[in-house]
Copies of this chain bind each other. A is one copy, B any other.
Amino acid sequence: MSQLSQASCEVCRVGAPKVSEAEAQELLSQLPQWSIVTYQGGNQSSSQDSDQSSDQGIQQLQRQFKFKNFVTAMAFANQLTEIAEAAGHHPGILVEWGKVTVTWWSHSIKGLHRNDFIMAAKTDELLPA
């Protein structure tokens, strides 16, 4: 069990500091399965793309988890919902057949807060050891 996963999220409001590049790299070193990605504004092209552009350029923490089918992938999403509710901090969860892509970022600061790395560590601990 990692130290990071034992930490608690602090309240993160508009104006709270994003992690610095150095902090991000140090925290990421504790989360070898995760990547920092930059949101590009939707994974589809459509004439009806609407409210996604405001998220463009936001840094997010992302990992893909593999499962044996859709139902087990959804079961993981439900477990993740429980820890997200408990922490009052919620990810993006993309469930597809046999895989779940989890994305953490802090909406209020449009980027990565230490909380996101804590939640990523807690997400990893949902898996059987």
Q: Is A16 an interface residue (CB 8 A)?
A: no
Contact residues, A44-70 vs B (CB, 8 A) = 44-48, 50, 60, 62, 64, 70
Interface size class of A (residues with CB under 8 A): 35 or more
Q: Which residues of the other chain, B, contact A44 by a CB distance below 8 angstroms?
A: 37-40, 60, 62, 103
**Residue contact B97 to A94, C-beta cutoff 8 Å:** no
Oligomer copy total: 2
In the assembled complex, the CB of A117 is this many whole angstroms from the nearest CB of chain B, namely 16
Residue picked from A45, A47, A95, most chain B C-beta under 10 Å:
A95
Residues facing B in A67-113 (CB within 8 A) are 70-71, 74, 77-78, 81, 84-85, 90-97, 103, 107
Chain A residues close to B by CB (< 8 Å): 35-48, 50, 60, 62, 64, 70-71, 74, 77-78, 81, 84-85, 90-97, 103, 107
> Which chain B positions have C-beta within 8 A of A93?
94-96
Evaluate whether A92 and B96 lie within 8 angstroms (CB atoms) in the complex, with A39-B44, A44-B37, A60-B44 already known.
yes
Give complex CA distance A60, B43 in Å: 11
**Would you call B78 and A90 a contact (CB within 8 A)?**
no
